[in-house]
Structure 1
Amino acid sequence: MAAPAEVQVVAGPSETAEAAELSRTLSRLLPGLEAESKQGRRRALEALERALEEAVEPGADPAAFQGPWARLLLPRLLRLLTDPAEGCRTLAARLLGLGLRHAPRPRDVLPRLLPALAARLARPDPSRPLPEPCEELRLALVQLLRLAMDLGGVEVAPHLDDAVRALRSALLDPFAAVRRESCECAAALARATPEHFHMQSESLIGPLMQTISHQHWKVRVAVIEATGTVIQFGNGNSVDDVLSHFAQRLFDDVPQVRQAVTSVVGGWLLSLRDRYSFFHKLTPLLLSSFSDSMPEVRQTATSLWEKIGLQWQEENEADLKDKLDFASPPPPHYPVQECRPSLGCRELVFRNLSKVLPAICRDITDWVVGTRVKAAQLLPVLLLHAEDHITQHLEIILRTLKQACTDEEKAVVSSCVRAAELIGTFVSPEVFLKLILAMLKKAPSPSGLLVLASVIRGCPRDTLQPHIKVIATELAQEHICEGSENDLYLEHLLLCVEALVSVCREDCCVASLQLMEVLLTIMAVSRAMALGNKAQKTMDTLAEVEDVPSSQDLYHKHVGALLERLTASHGEWTVHSVPLLQFSIVLIQAGPAVGEVLQHVFPTLRACLQPTTDPHMRLKLFSILSTVLLRPKDTVDSQGQFHAYLEMVVNDILAPNLQWHAGKTAAAIRTAAVSCLWVLTSSDILSAKQVQEIQETLMPHVLATLEDDSQTTRLVSCRIVNMFLKTSGHTMESDRLLKVYPELLKRLDDVSNDVRMAAASVLLTWLKCVQSSDGKSSYQSSVQFLYRELLVHLDDPECTIQDAVLEVLKEGSVLFPDVLVRETEAVVHKHRSATYCEQLLQHMQATAIAQ
């Protein structure tokens, strides 16, 4: 193959000797570029590279380089960008870069260079492959394009179409490095052509936004920064197109990405030409970074926001003259942990709040968790800036907070609680109470109560003080206090009381009755022990702020009013009635104060413990009555007035409930009544005479309960009979005393050994009563019958029963020993073992000798 002919080069008339020499050197090497073999073309390009490097050595005349390079080499290098050989295309791009960097007038080559680069980078059809298949070479071409922007400056403007066409494709390149370089190139193009770029800037926004979610975080950062520059020097209308994408990047896991968004948005707010039109759209993005997890991002946002506020303040100094000359002090009780923003920052938020707030309130209830969290975190920041200006937006804010406080995401609820506290700080109680209490009256809810508690917690004491009674009274209303038995509802209701007590302290004395009613309801209704304990602690705190030793002193102060209100509806009570539950708590918790209000307690118990009332309620009340009777001196008899109601307790409460009625529930009530009677008779508040009176009234009922199906009832009844006999058996008439032992004998055949042992013990007491009576002879036949029955049980299979019966017979042997000896000798041969009979006979013989 013949070698290519040498190119004939004619030096230009104005070329210097150096330029002419370079032209001759290039002309010798240029034919190699036309070689058919890629090795030949490659060698020629390498030789040209060496020649050009020599031509740009220090001391060489730069002007001598421009002409030969642009006239001889540039056209051929641009054609070589389409060479089949990748190595040749790479060398051609390298030589183009070398020429651009050293040519004194790089703008002269732009008309030919930029179209060629666009042709190699721009994909004519998205379905077709890229013109340049090599990733590294596409990167080199984009770097070459960037070099042209930097060196060409404003001269690039006539070629914007080509540059933008190349960048639109390069911004979507599969190679991440190409995308990053393209972003920097787009920013360079915007800076290079500030007067013309706005005509083409919008066409770059689409590709940039397609790349903003790229998997490489460095690409995402580059896109954000490039977008900032493109819009800064381009068309501000594009802000609307990128806002949603930027907002999404605030959720990025990489802090550098969030930092980039913060910096770019802050830069727009400082220097965007028509930024005033976008304050209400850009401000939320920047302020969202105030709650970022990274200190660096928060610091960047804070610093930019301060500059923005100061700049806006200076730009609107005439409008703000009065506010600047007569600066208002911070609101009283301004949150100590917060630094008050400058006037410019506050005014910016206030003037745009009506535009920003609806979107924030909408996003707080979005279905995406991250969106809800960000919006909720932004709301307190806005309120801190708006201060008392939030009053005019209070209704929508409170409605949003009520809904958001139901969120399962704790971060959302926490931010909403903080927002509610700021409402309490900046808004008058007359205003927020009117709205919140109306909201609770319409539909009480846990979230509404949480909002109220938070607002109270943020409110200054001196401004809240006149409204304590109103708040407490409203909380004690049935529609709120008894609005739900849900533990969350009760917990937030308790938070309201805690907040009021912690903020107002001693001032709560004016509403302590109402607050006690709320706390009683919580303790009565709550199924969670921990919540009841918290309510009791709050009661103790209330006592502390009232300067009394304990919560029982609060009961001394209010128990009369409490029980008067509670017992007013006792005719409608069921076991689930809240007043009944509150009544029970008062009886248990009030201690000695109960003794001061017996006129409310026992008439209510009498009415509610009639056989016609709810049986489950009767069971509960008997349990409560037993509890207070266990410590009578500390409860019902603290004032020594219980005896005045003893007859009512015996005749109207206990007696009707000891009567037999069919059914398991009725049996349970009898057990409760018997247990209550046992507590009463075994306490130390009754005199012997009072026990005797009770015995005369209730003994028949108690004897009847010895036949009850319930083992507990039978056992307790035995103990009560024993108590009656010990206390007043020696004074009982003989016919009444004789009615006792047959019922006790039946219990020796009971299925329960405990009952049998108790019955034996009562028989022992009964024999002592006979022994101390005057007419013992009238009891002989009954005692003889008792001997016979006891001797049968002396042969019981249970040793414990045999021992107990033996003790009874020994005690009873002193009455009619001869009769007992005859009866014993008559049955001794029938017993499986004569041991116990012999012991009994020996005992009687020893007793006779001793006498």
Structure 2
Amino acid sequence: MAVPAEAAVAVCPAEAVEAAELSRALGRLLPGLETDSKLGRRRALEALERALEEAERAGAEPATFQGPWARLLLPRLLRLLADPAEGCRALAVHLLGLGLRRAARPHDALPRLLPALAARLARPEPTRPPPEPCEELRLALVQLLSLAVGLGGAALAPHLDDAVRALRSALLDPFAAVRRESCQCAANLARATPDHFHMQSESLIGPLMQTIAHQHWKVRVAVIEATGTVIQFGSAQSVDDVLPHFAQRLFDDVTQVRQAVTSVVGSWLLQLRDRYSFFHKLIPLLLSSFRDEMSEVRQSATSLWVKVGLQWQEENEADLKDKLDFASPPPPHYPAHESRPGLGCRELVFRNLSKVLPAICHDITDWVVGTRVKAAQLLPVLLLHAEDHITQHLEIVLRTLQRACADEEPAVVSSCTRSAELVGTFVSPEVFLKLVLAMLKKAPSPSGLLVLASVIRGCPRDALRPHIKVIAGELTQAHICQGSENDLYLEQLLLCVQALVSVCREDCSAAGLQLMEVLVTVMAVSEASGLRDKAQETMDTLAEVENVPSSQDLYRKHVGALLERMTVSPDEWTVHSVELLLFMAILTRSGPAVGEALPHVVPTLRACLQPSADPHLRLKLLSVLSTVLLRPQDTVDSQGQFHSYLETVVKDILAPNLQWRAGRTAAAIRTATASCLWALTSSNILSAKQVQDAQETLMPLVLGMLDEDSQMTRLTSCHIISAFLRTVGDTMDPDKLLKIYPELLKRLDDVSNDVRMAAASALLAWLRCVQSAEGKAYYQSSVQYLYRELLVHLDDPERTIQDTVLEVLKEGGILFPELLVRETEAVVHQHRSPAYCERLLKHVQASATGQ
């Protein structure tokens, strides 16, 4: 039989004597190991421990110790690993460790040690507990196994089965410390037997992956690092089994765990024998750490990635010779805050993009939020490396971005808008606009508009300039511009205009009309005041780039064309028509520009305010019209041309809507129309002749509204009558004038004090008309009747009414003072208090005396 080389070393006589003495010393203690007494065995083990320590202190050589250790101690100590007494087993493990460290040839013990350790650690069945019940002892056994691996080296190869069998169980041990030690042992075993370990490595992957989600983060880190070594020295086919678990650990809350994944994946990309086959699977994991929340993880990933790129570049130098010799400059307008990756890194991503991208696009729409966030964060990193090579994959990228930009998670949307900006930076507008606009034409959506805004924002100005009109023209198309009244949709529509204006600046003047139409649409349709304010701010910016002083001047520049586009068929509008909202927005927001667009405004009002039109539409439009007429010099009459359209306004717009019709909506329309008329008559833009013409048409209708149920309508009617009487009352036909005061007298009995006071004011205006009219005698009987009725209200319970009526009688008494005195003296005794009558009489008498 051949003698091992180590055993063939000659032993000097002195060492042989020492070995014999040690054997005799140990031999005297060995019988104690066989006793039935636990205490006896323990004492024997303790004595052995002291003897070994004394021999070590005496400086015994490892060669001296080798013989007694292998022949006398090792077999007995291995049997004691199964001793019933826990203390004896612990001492046995300890002594085995001492022996391995002291022996000259520790690997000689492996054929007996490894099976014994496997017998104590390996479960007979997966569901049963390990033979060694004590946690601390299992830890000591694994540490002993690690020691054997460290000392045995390549000699472990024949015993890999036993070592792996022990580790498979230890890796799933309930005790966290055992698992951590087992991970370290597995890594050491892989390094110790590189030529043979690949035959056993796959059997360790299962237990490692079962432990990778352990609740202790230090265990998770140990598993990740051990897995890296096991696969590095084992079978690379296990990478596919490991990667899903590694990807999950990138979501770990503990920084050290994510750092471990980054380091292991980076080392595989650098050192794994079959790494070229797994580039498309490993690269996404490493690049995902570029967006980690912790700077140390990001820095580690960046450093490793640079090394990977440089190594791959060196390994493929011949293939890259042209690109290395004639290095291309960075694309124009490369993102300023980004540093361009090296050639090797860019080539690696580009060559694997077709394999990586489908998986990333799939994960961006995953049902798990964390997965979507990670995938969305990875996409801009890939696009930054791919640069103009994105064009080959643009359709799937844009389709994915459109879906992802509708995500409820802000982090997903933020990363996807960044990706869209990179598309705009690296891809020609002719290419991406064709796809983006086609998607919007097929199905307009907030996410589609957000993608368009983002690619515009990322696109260089000089590249985008030729396409401004095309983009603006598409945005004004009804299916996009009027596609939805949802605030989110309108916000993204506004974002497209903001992006175009911010990128192209003065170049946008070529499409100013179209962009303004979009902005007016947003302001008209949105119900959110904040969004309307943003649209107005964008309008101010557009005015700045068009080189006009303000947004009001921008309206003056484009209002005619805007109204011409949207008022093609106003008779077909309903209350829900977007064109109606746009028209109202222009009326209320364009200011003086309305006065320049009367040829479009008045015919549109006439068409929409006919009695046959939608009542609710008429009501909304009349409300807007009354607001505009309150300040006509700043709106409809800014150019002094409103009088040219007055007849149309009075006869075709106001008069038909003042006609009585049944129903609450009709009543509301009359109220709104009365408000318009009151605003018009009180605006001081009409001449006396114009007011006279208007009152001839409208006075009968207004008098009829004095009996309306609406207090506001009655009050407004009284004000309108006062305005008519003050302006043209003395020129009215006497018979028509006489028909007015009886209707006003009825309002002195109104339930509203405001209406009663307004009616009294109107009666005073009527009396002044009579005073200035020729042939006062014609009115004497009517005035006498009016005195009589007013004296009744002079005794009103309301002091304010009494004061108002007193003032009317004082001024109206100038007409026929004697008549007023007689009527007052006839009723003074009927009043609850004669005070007001006496004041009136004194006033009339004083006036007569003064004359």
Report the TM range for the smaller structure's normalisation. over 0.9
Structure 1 residues 13 and 41, CA gap change in structure 2 (3 angstroms): farther
The Cα of 1:58 is off from its aligned counterpart by 6.5
Mapped to 2, the partners of 1:830 and 1:12 lie a distance apart of: 152
The Cα of 1:13 is off from its aligned counterpart by 11
Aligned position for 2:101: 101
SS of match in other structure, 1:32: helix
Mapped to 2, the partners of 1:502 and 1:283 lie a distance apart of: 36
The Cα of 1:52 is off from its aligned counterpart by 1.9
Matched, 1:848 2:826: no
1:204-238 Cα deviation digits (max 9, x unpaired): 11111111111111111111111110000000000
1:1-150 pair list within 5 angstroms: 16-57=16-57, 59-150=59-150
| TM-score, structure 2 as length reference | 0.97
1:542-577 Cα deviation digits (max 9, x unpaired): 011112110111111111110101111211111221
The Cα of 1:456 is off from its aligned counterpart by 0.8
Aligned position for 2:792: 792
Mapped to 1, the partners of 2:151 and 2:589 lie a distance apart of: 89
Matched, 1:652 2:671: no
Matched-pair contact (CA < 8 Å) for 1:760–1:804: yes
The Cα of 1:57 is off from its aligned counterpart by 3.4
1:570-649 pair list within 5 angstroms: 570-649=570-649
Mapped to 1, the partners of 2:832 and 2:557 lie a distance apart of: 70
Matched-pair contact (CA < 8 Å) for 1:309–1:342: yes
Aligned position for 1:354: 354
Unaligned runs of 5+ in 1: 1-10
The Cα of 1:632 is off from its aligned counterpart by 1.7
1:627-670 Cα deviation digits (max 9, x unpaired): 22222222212222111101111111111111111111111111
Mapped to 2, the partners of 1:579 and 1:64 lie a distance apart of: 105
Mapped to 2, the partners of 1:642 and 1:391 lie a distance apart of: 58
Mapped to 2, the partners of 1:754 and 1:141 lie a distance apart of: 101
Matched-pair contact (CA < 8 Å) for 2:373–2:411: yes
Mapped to 2, the partners of 1:677 and 1:56 lie a distance apart of: 118
Aligned position for 2:161: 161
1:370-417 Cα deviation digits (max 9, x unpaired): 111111111111111111111111111111111111111111111111
Aligned position for 1:297: 297
The Cα of 1:289 is off from its aligned counterpart by 0.7
Stretch moving more, 697-706 or 415-424: 697-706
1:755-796 Cα deviation digits (max 9, x unpaired): 111111111121121111221111111112212222222222
The Cα of 1:821 is off from its aligned counterpart by 2.5
SS of match in other structure, 1:319: coil
Mapped to 1, the partners of 2:32 and 2:245 lie a distance apart of: 52
Matched, 1:188 2:188: yes
Matched-pair contact (CA < 8 Å) for 1:741–1:766: yes
Alignment-mate amino acid for residue 227 of structure 1: T
Matched-pair contact (CA < 8 Å) for 2:485–2:526: yes
Aligned position for 2:495: 495
SS of match in other structure, 1:172: coil
SS of match in other structure, 2:707: coil
Matched-pair contact (CA < 8 Å) for 1:56–1:62: no
Mapped to 1, the partners of 2:618 and 2:805 lie a distance apart of: 38
Mapped to 2, the partners of 1:837 and 1:500 lie a distance apart of: 76
Aligned position for 1:809: 809
Matched, 1:445 2:445: yes
Mapped to 1, the partners of 2:367 and 2:289 lie a distance apart of: 21
Matched-pair contact (CA < 8 Å) for 2:269–2:279: yes
Mapped to 2, the partners of 1:812 and 1:188 lie a distance apart of: 118
The Cα of 1:843 is off from its aligned counterpart by 2.4
Mapped to 2, the partners of 1:624 and 1:94 lie a distance apart of: 96
Stretch moving more, 484-493 or 582-591: 582-591
Alignment-mate amino acid for residue 413 of structure 1: V
Matched-pair contact (CA < 8 Å) for 1:66–1:103: yes
Matched, 1:366 2:372: no
1:422-463 Cα deviation digits (max 9, x unpaired): 111111111111111110111111111111111111111111
Matched-pair contact (CA < 8 Å) for 2:571–2:613: no
Alignment-mate amino acid for residue 195 of structure 2: E
1:446-845 pair list within 5 angstroms: 446-845=446-845
1:41-98 Cα deviation digits (max 9, x unpaired): 2222222222222333364332111111111111111111111111111111111111
Matched-pair contact (CA < 8 Å) for 2:290–2:298: yes
Stretch moving more, 801-810 or 309-318: 801-810
Aligned position for 2:417: 417
CA-atom RMSD in angstroms: 1.5
The Cα of 1:12 is off from its aligned counterpart by 10
Stretch moving more, 25-34 or 414-423: 25-34
Alignment-mate amino acid for residue 611 of structure 1: P
SS of match in other structure, 2:815: coil
1:281-292 pair list within 5 angstroms: 281-292=281-292
Mapped to 2, the partners of 1:91 and 1:709 lie a distance apart of: 107
Matched-pair contact (CA < 8 Å) for 2:715–2:755: yes
The Cα of 1:137 is off from its aligned counterpart by 1.2
Stretch moving more, 186-195 or 792-801: 792-801
Stretch moving more, 525-534 or 395-404: 395-404
Alignment-mate amino acid for residue 508 of structure 1: C
- Identity across the alignment (%): 81
1:461-486 Cα deviation digits (max 9, x unpaired): 11111111111110111000010000
Aligned position for 1:5: none
Aligned position for 2:3: none
Alignment-mate amino acid for residue 66 of structure 1: Q
Stretch moving more, 22-31 or 109-118: 22-31
Matched-pair contact (CA < 8 Å) for 1:56–1:65: no
Mapped to 1, the partners of 2:786 and 2:121 lie a distance apart of: 122
1:307-322 pair list within 5 angstroms: 307-322=307-322
Mapped to 2, the partners of 1:750 and 1:217 lie a distance apart of: 84
SS of match in other structure, 1:113: helix
Matched-pair contact (CA < 8 Å) for 1:110–1:148: yes
Aligned position for 1:407: 407
Aligned position for 2:7: none
Alignment-mate amino acid for residue 127 of structure 2: S
Mapped to 2, the partners of 1:739 and 1:687 lie a distance apart of: 24
Alignment-mate amino acid for residue 814 of structure 1: I
1:714-759 Cα deviation digits (max 9, x unpaired): 1111111111111111222211211111111111111111111111
Stretch moving more, 424-433 or 829-838: 829-838
Aligned position for 1:428: 428
Aligned position for 1:272: 272
The Cα of 1:19 is off from its aligned counterpart by 1.4
The Cα of 1:812 is off from its aligned counterpart by 2.4
Aligned length: 841
The Cα of 1:497 is off from its aligned counterpart by 0.6
The Cα of 1:331 is off from its aligned counterpart by 0.7
Aligned position for 1:7: none
| TM-score, structure 1 as length reference | 0.97
Aligned position for 1:4: none
Mapped to 2, the partners of 1:810 and 1:31 lie a distance apart of: 142
Mapped to 2, the partners of 1:558 and 1:390 lie a distance apart of: 40
Alignment-mate amino acid for residue 652 of structure 2: D
Mapped to 2, the partners of 1:538 and 1:550 lie a distance apart of: 11
SS of match in other structure, 2:186: helix
The Cα of 1:274 is off from its aligned counterpart by 0.4
1:667-724 Cα deviation digits (max 9, x unpaired): 1111111111111111121112221222222222222222222111111111111111
Alignment-mate amino acid for residue 568 of structure 2: A
Matched-pair contact (CA < 8 Å) for 1:506–1:545: yes
Alignment-mate amino acid for residue 382 of structure 1: L
1:317-364 Cα deviation digits (max 9, x unpaired): 111111111111111111111111111111111111111111111111
Stretch moving more, 535-544 or 755-764: 755-764
Stretch moving more, 357-366 or 514-523: 357-366
